[in-house]
Amino acid sequence: MTDINDAKLKRKAEKKAKKAARKAAEAAENSSVKKNKKNKREREETPESPEKPKKHKKDKKKKHKKSSDDDDVAPTTDFSSGPYQQPPASDGSFKKAFYTEGEDTAKMTNDEVSAFHEANQMILSGNNCLYRPVLSFDDVTFESKFMKTTKGFDKPTPIQSQCWPILASGRDIIGIAETGSGKTLAFSIPGLIHIAAQPEVSHKHPGPRMLVVAPTRELAMQSSAVISEAGKKCGLKSICIYGGVPKQTQKKALRDGVHVVVATPGRLKDLVEERSCNLSKVTFVVLDEADRMLDEGFEKDIRAIIGSTHP
């Protein structure tokens, strides 16, 4: 009898426990629903902040392209808005910028610069760098020893007027001009100024600091004659290197020391590979008639030669 009563009491206790658990679960569920409704109501009552539009990569590319296009404009835009030039980037291992604008040149207005370019059929484009042309030898601020070779000329040629300020400022340039336009002096005078200013140049046993590469023997000899004459006025030696003649004379001249090497690509590449011509100190490079050298298949040689110069 006692066992039967105990079983009944046990079943009643289990029913009460299940009922209590069910009520607790229902209470918890009702509380969660109320909380969710309250949060929803608060979200609806709170004004949403406007969502910022996302920038797409495509938009960034368009913006970057527009910026690049804006930089590639003629440097005669507006000289009054800022400096006439921008300093070139440099790792500090050698000097690059030596140009000071002359008094008369600095006074040139935008219209005067544009008129000069139009009169001489000159088209300029570049990285937003403004360089006024030098119209007279009197307003050239280079040391007189570098200008002695220009005696007998009335004024700078158009390509000289525009190239001198740019190259003497340490900028890279691609110049297109006809034969007889004075282009050799346009690049050689700034080149001589550049190498003469380097602190480690030894006049006793100098290594080449300036390199001019030309497609043919004839053109190399013509450029070398002009550079040699200009270099003598300021104590700088040059050599012309080309094929078809024995290498020994050229090797000896290189061992004795030169400041400027004018060469054709084939022979120069041979001497570099033979370690007879060390170009590691060269910081001023000219590719004379570069398009012609590429047309004649010298691209590989040119790349090897440039790779041998100062980084």
Per-residue pLDDT of the chain (311 residues; tens, 9 = 90+): 444 445 555 565 566 555 655 655 555 555 444 445 445 454 544 444 445 444 444 444 444 443 334 444 344 455 555 445 555 666 677 888 888 889 999 899 889 998 999 999 988 877 666 789 999 999 999 999 999 989 889 999 999 999 999 999 888 888 988 878 899 999 999 999 999 888 765 555 567 999 999 999 999 999 999 999 999 988 899 999 999 999 999 999 999 999 999 999 999 999 999 999 999 999 999 999 999 999 999 999 999 999 999 87
Q: Is the four-CA dihedral 15, 21, 25, 31 of positive or negative sign? A: positive
Beta bridge partners of 126: 73
Phi and psi at 238, nearest 5°, equal -135, 165
Residue 205 tokens, joined: 């046993």
Helices 183-196, 158-167: inter-axial angle, 10-degree rounding: 20
Give the model's pLDDT for residue 3. 45
Q: Is the pTM of this model over 0.95?
A: no
Q: How many CB atoms lie within 10 A of CB 23?
A: 10
**What would the two tokens of residue 168 be?**
């003497």
Residues 6+ apart with CB under 8 A from 235: 203
Backbone angles phi, psi at 207, to 5 degrees: -95, 155
Closest by alpha carbon to 168, among 209, 197, 208?
A: 197
Nearest CA among 296, 247, 288, 297 for reference residue 267: 247
What whole-number distance in Å separates Cα of residue 311 and Cα of residue 306? Answer: 9
Gap between the Cα atoms of 243 and 263, Å rounded: 9
Given this model, what pLDDT does residue 154 score? 92
Angle (nearest 5°) at CA 171 between 166 and 176? 65
* Per-residue model confidence (pLDDT) at position 76: 44
Burial of 178 (0-12, 13-18, 19+ CB in 10 A): exposed
270: Cβ–Cβ under 8 A, 6 or more apart, which residues?
247
Whether 230 contacts 250, CB under 8 Å: no
Residues composing the chain: 311
What are the structural domains, with CATH classification, of the chain?
Answer: 70-197 (3.40.50.300), 206-311 (3.40.50.300)
pLDDT score for 95: 81
| Residue 194 C-beta-side C-alpha neighbours within 13 Å | 28
Q: Where are the alpha helices (DSSP H) in the chain?
A: 2-45, 57-71, 103-106, 110-119, 144-147, 158-167, 183-196, 217-232, 247-256, 265-273, 290-295, 299-307
Q: Distance (Å, rounded) from C-alpha 257 to C-alpha 236? A: 10
